[in-house]
Structure formats: structure tokens, C-alpha cells
Amino acid sequence: MQLEKVNPKMITLARDIRYMSQKDLTDMVEFTQGKLSKIENGLLRCSEDDINLISRALNFSVNFFYQTDTVYGLGVSQLYYRKKKSATVKELKYFESLFQFRRMQISRLLKSVDMGDIDIKEFSLEEYKTPTAVAKIVRAMWHIPSGPISNVVETIENVGGIVFSENVKKSKIDAMSQWITQISLKDRVLQTYEEDNIPPLFFINTSKPMDRIRFSLCHEIGHTVMHRIPNENMENEANEFAAEFLMPEDDIRDQLKGLTFDKLADLKLHWKVSMAALIHRAGELKCITQNQAKYLFMKLSSMGYRMKEPEHLLPTKEVPGLLRSIIDVYFNELSYTKEELYNLVFLNDDDAFDLLYDDKTPRLRLVK
């Protein structure tokens, strides 16, 4: 019998992950929405029988609901995401909740695994002036050679970030990021979070085309390194960062001069970005006129490429591998059984496990 008290925030979190309203859940259990509302708001203690019903209905392990983790969100540690404007509130709640759940799992997995140093730093735009300048510095710090970035996911993982993914079809959300650490404003520390000593986390929706995923990830890198304190222009700043990070002016300018539609496919294959991104970049760098850019966008539209560019021109899929490496440590070096690992990270079945387990990466070492 559980002695701890059920954490009502975990019920709300699990319900949002399953895309259920309170009514959806109470239709599956043997009590009213009013009772569930009081439980979730901390006005009524949840009994062992009640939490067992909720656990089965939501397909979460019972021990998940007794966790005391802080649920971080917008306005606290800044959970950023790149999305289309038409994303609904319900959809945003789902992804924010999914992100929090993954953070809880990763936090537990990292307690026995040494990832080494995190080579991700923060930069103030007051000091460095422009996102373009920051992008140049970050590329240099991360030892990225000139020209296209061969694999953005691998680049993030090589410097200590963790990328995780899920295929969510028809979603308006492209990517999300969060880094729970000290937040400061000039010389005054606003708040410090120390209970989750984990690196920056990046989520990608793999239902999106790979060229869009790459840009979205670089957009999230921009948020991570520049926007500990949010501002009203931060989306444009993150886009500027991503453009320079993926398509450095010094390397791409000559290739964009006099850009024509016929050249777009070759440049897309080389730079691994969308044709639309190349046209935007050519316009930003004044390699083409506004009228030329307008013509090229019209041409893309007439070919149906504004909605979906040709699949045979898409970059190779980039698969996150760091979480698989971490999990391998538990199986191969810590001798965990599947049941023990599932209990550690609140998994109920193999399908949920498969969402965590991706491609191989270099082996990690145990914390000594």
C-alpha cells in the first residue's frame, strides 16, 4: 500500500498527455467529474482505489502519480516551441505535458550516467548585438566546419544536448526546447533551479519534412543560447540565428547570387534546407531583388512546393541516438531488466519504450 500522497499535478499531466479532458477520463472511471476536479485542484485526497482506476484508464504506471517533480512551463523556465500560428491550446497542452514527462524520465536516467561536459553556453544580445553574430560564435565554439551542417541532431548531441522525438501526424508543432538552469537578469539572479541537473532538451516532431526539422532545431538552439529572458522579438531573433547557423553568409552568399529556380534543387541538396529557406536567405542577403524573390515563391506555389517540396530532395533522416546510448548503459553495464527500467521511468509497455529507444551513439560511462 502506498504511503505517499498522490500528486494531483501528475494526474493532470498524464491526462493531457493522453489528450483527455476531465470528462473523457471520468467517463472511464467510477466517479464524477466534480470529484476528479477536486482531486486535481488538491481539494480532495485521492484514495488508493481511485488512483488505481485512473492509472488503468490513462495507461500510466501507478508509481508515476506519486512523483513530486516540479512541472515547469511557460513563464518559469521557458518552454519554447516552433509552431504554426493555427496550433490549438489543447495541442500546446499536449506537447508541453509530453515534454515534461520526457524530462522526468531523462532526469532519472541521468542519475547513474555520466554524459561529460555540456558545451552549450548562453549569450546576451546586449553584448553580441545580433543573432547572426551569436550564430557565428556558436559554430566556432562547436568546431563546425564551413559549409552545410551534415547532421544537426548529431551536432546537438555532440555538445551535450539531448534530442528526443515523436511522430505526431497533422500536428502544428515542429519542435520544442527547454533548459532548466539558473535564470539571471544582468547581475541580479531571479530564480535558480537545481533539482533537475540535466542538459538542454530538444524535441522534434518527425512527421515534419527533414529540411524543416533541421531549421526548427536550429531555431530552438537559438532560443536556448539567447533567450533565458524572453522578449517580444525572440521568434524573429531565433529565425535569424537559424538562418546564419545553417546557411552562413560567408559560405553561401556567392552561391545565392542571381538565384534561379533551376538552381534551387541543387542548392537544397547541398545545404539540406528547404527551397523556401534558400529564397528567404537570398533575399535577406540581397543576392536577389524583392521582385525576384516574389517570382520564385510564386513558382514554388505553382509547382505545389510551398506546401510540400519533392521527397527525393529531402535530406537523410536524422535520428536521435543519445537516449539509446543512455538506456544501453542500464541494460549492459548496470544489469537492469526491462521491468526494472520500465519501473524507473514509468513505462507500461514496449510501445512506450520504443519511443525512447533510437539509433546508436558512442557509449557513455557510469557515474563514479
Q: Supply the pLDDT for residue 85.
A: 60
Q: Distance between CA atoms of 314 and 308, rounded to whole angstroms?
A: 10
Asked if residue 90 is part of any domain, the answer here is: yes
Last residue of a domain, one of 221, 246, 271: 246
Higher-confidence residue: 160 or 361?
Answer: 160
Range of 234's domain?
80-246
Question: Is the domain of 116 the same as that of 235?
Answer: yes
Regarding whether 222 and 121 lie in a shared domain, the answer is yes
- Asked if residue 357 is part of any domain, the answer here is no
Question: What sign has the CA pseudo-torsion 204, 208, 214, 217?
Answer: negative
Q: Considering 44, 66, 88, which residue would you say is the last residue of a domain?
A: 66
At residue 182, the pLDDT reads 47
- Please choose, from the candidates 25, 251, 29, 281, the residue with its C-alpha nearest in 3D space to the C-alpha of residue 147: 251
- For residues 154 and 117, membership in a common domain is answered with yes
All three cell numbers of 21:
479532458
* 45 and 169 part of one domain: no
157 within 8 A of 322, measured Cβ to Cβ: yes
Give 359 or 217, the one with higher predicted confidence.
Answer: 217
Write down the pLDDT at residue 72. Answer: 67
Q: What is the DSSP string of 181-203?
A: S-EEETTEEEE---S-----EEE
Q: Closest Cα to residue 242, out of 265, 260, 262, 216?
A: 216
Indicate whether 350 belongs to any domain: no
Together in a domain, 12 and 153: no
Long-range contacts of 125-129 (CB under 8 A, 24+ apart): 125/226, 125/237
pLDDT for 361 equals 44
Do the domain assignments include residue 365?
Answer: no
User: Among 57-66, 95-104, 153-162, 250-259, where is mean pLDDT lowest?
Assistant: 95-104
Residue 40's nearest CA partner among 11, 76, 81 is 11
CATH number at residue 54: 1.10.260.40
Q: Which amino acid is at 232?
A: E
Residue in 118, 117, 98, 101 with CA at minimum distance from that of residue 109:
101
Q: Tell whether 58 is covered by a domain.
A: yes
Please check whether residue 279 lies inside any domain of the structure: no
pLDDT classification of 185: cutoffs 50, 70, 90: very low
**Is residue 225 scored above 50 in pLDDT?**
yes
- Is 145 within a domain? yes
Q: Are residues 53 and 157 in the same domain?
A: no
DSSP 288: S
Residue 100 pLDDT greater than 90, yes or no: no
362: pLDDT confidence band, cut at 50, 70 and 90? very low
100 and 229 share one domain: yes
What is the per-residue pLDDT for 103? 87
Can you tell me the distance from the alpha carbon of 357 to that of 164, in angstroms, rounded to the nearest whole number?
Answer: 9
- Quote the DSSP letter at residue 168: -
Mean pLDDT of 191-197: 46
Burial 3-33 (b: 16+ CB within 10 A, else e): eeebbbbbbbbbbbbeebebeebbeebeeee
Over residues 317-326, the mean pLDDT reads 90
Asked if residue 87 and residue 26 are part of one domain, the reply reads no
Q: Per the structure, how many domains does the chain have?
A: 2
Convert the pLDDT of each residue in 48-85 to its tens digit: 999 999 999 998 989 899 998 877 655 434 556 665 56
Residue 105 sits in the same domain as residue 164: yes
Decide if 41 is inside a domain. Answer: yes
Q: Are 138 and 193 within one domain? A: yes
pLDDT at 73: 58
Which carries the bigger pLDDT value, residue 211 or residue 114? 211
Check pLDDT > 60 for residue 17.
yes
Of 20, 36, 66, the last residue of a domain is 66
Q: In percent, how much of the chain has pLDDT > 70? A: 87
pLDDT in tens, 263-320: 999 999 999 999 999 999 999 999 999 999 999 999 999 988 877 888 888 999 999 9
Closest by Cα among 246, 206, 217 to 359: 206
For the stretch 141-184, pLDDT in tens is 999 999 999 999 999 999 999 999 888 887 778 888 888 764 44
166-170, 271-275, 333-337, 344-348: least confidently modelled range: 166-170
Do 95 and 18 share a structural domain?
no
**Alpha-helix runs per DSSP H in the chain:** 8-17, 22-26, 33-40, 48-58, 89-109, 125-128, 131-141, 152-158, 210-226, 234-246, 249-256, 261-271, 275-284, 290-302, 322-332, 338-344, 350-356
Contacts 24+ apart (CB under 8 A), 91-98: 91/171, 91/172, 91/173, 92/173, 93/16, 94/16, 94/17, 94/19, 95/168, 95/171, 95/173, 95/176, 95/203, 96/16, 96/176, 97/13, 97/14, 97/16, 97/17, 98/17, 98/166, 98/203
230 to 42, 94, 194, 203, 337: CA distances (angstroms)? 31, 22, 21, 19, 43
C-alpha cell at 152: 544537426
- Are 22 and 143 in the same domain? no
Task: Tell me the CA distances in angstroms from 359 to 163, 216, 323, one per residue in order.
Answer: 12, 21, 9
